[in-house]
């Protein structure tokens, strides 16, 4: 599939991968089902992270490939090679994360078998993954913004301040134990809201990328 088509396809797949949580709705259903709904929440947290990251990796790889082909056509490939190499290095980070154990069904089984203990392990991994992915994505988006600007179209540079940093895992685990699980609700709220914000920031940049590619295709 041509890279421009890969960008368009991954952009169109967004509704199927980027699930937005409503904490109070999830909390209400968990209460009504005596906690059973919380297992579905864990499944969705793991699934949306895995599927979103896979979709983003596909889009960013396609954006790099498309830009490289255009750079060759415009005779500026040599000039932009260092930027492309920096993009490749950060894409390798995303590729590595995509190969790690994040199957939602298996994590759901682990959570059930361990009486919920694996849930907290999954939460730690989700937060660490979000931090790693966002740092890599911010770097990639910044480099691609400069590359596409050289090709004649504008894409906003990602704001590095959007990277939230990792949670204090030891502190959160201790607080959850000390409050007999009540603090876990605040932890879960953060996971949902921070993931939602990450997706929304990605969507804005993806829309700009799609418009930039469309403009280059029409030129």
The CA distance from 160 to 183, in Å, is: 29
pLDDT of residue 151 exceeding 90, the answer is yes
The CA distance from 64 to 199, in Å, is: 20
Task: Quickly list H helices, the chain.
Answer: 3-12, 14-17, 23-32, 37-74, 77-98, 104-113, 117-151, 169-178, 183-218
Please, which residues have CB within 8 angstroms of residue 167's CB and are 6 or more apart in sequence? 124, 127, 187, 190
Contact yes or no for 202/13 (Cβ under 8 A): no
pLDDT digit string, tens, across residues 49-84: 999 999 999 999 999 999 999 999 999 999 999 999
- Phi, psi dihedral angles at 153 (to 5 degrees): -130, 160
Q: Which domain covers residue 51, as residue numbers?
A: 3-218
pLDDT digit string, tens, across residues 172-212: 999 999 999 999 999 999 999 999 999 999 999 999 999 99
Number of domains composing the chain:
1
Average pLDDT, the chain: 95
Residue position matching structure tokens 């876990």: 184
The CA distance from 13 to 94, in Å, is: 19
Residue position matching structure tokens 């704001």: 159
Contact yes or no for 157/181 (Cβ under 8 A): no
pLDDT at position 158:
84
The CA distance from 153 to 132, in Å, is: 28
């Amino acid at each position: 599939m041509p890279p421009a088509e890969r960008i368009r396809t991954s952009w169109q797949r967004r509704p199927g991968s980027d699930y937005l949580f409503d904490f109070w709705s999830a909390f209400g259903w968990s209460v009504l089902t005596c906690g059973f709904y919380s297992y579905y929440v864990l499944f969705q947290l793991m699934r949306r992270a895995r599927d979103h990251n896979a979709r983003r990796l596909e889009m960013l790889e396609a954006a790099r490939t498309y830009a490289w082909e255009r750079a060759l056509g415009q005779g500026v490939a040599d000039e932009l090679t260092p930027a492309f190499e920096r993009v490749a290095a950060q894409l390798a980070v995303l590729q590595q994360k995509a190969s790690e154990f994040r199957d939602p069904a298996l994590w759901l089984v682990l959570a059930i078998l361990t009486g919920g203990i694996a849930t907290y392990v999954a939460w730690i991994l989700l937060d660490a993954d979000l931090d790693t992915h966002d740092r890599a994505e911010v770097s990639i988006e910044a480099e691609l913004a400069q590359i596409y600007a050289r090709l004649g179209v504008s894409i906003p540079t990602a704001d590095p301040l959007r990277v939230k940093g990792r949670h204090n895992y030891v502190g959160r685990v201790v607080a959850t134990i000390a409050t007999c699980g009540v603090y876990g609700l605040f932890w879960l709220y953060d996971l949902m809201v921070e993931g939602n914000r990450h997706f929304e920031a990605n969507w804005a940049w993806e829309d700009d990328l799609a418009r930039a590619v469309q403009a280059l295709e029409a030129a």
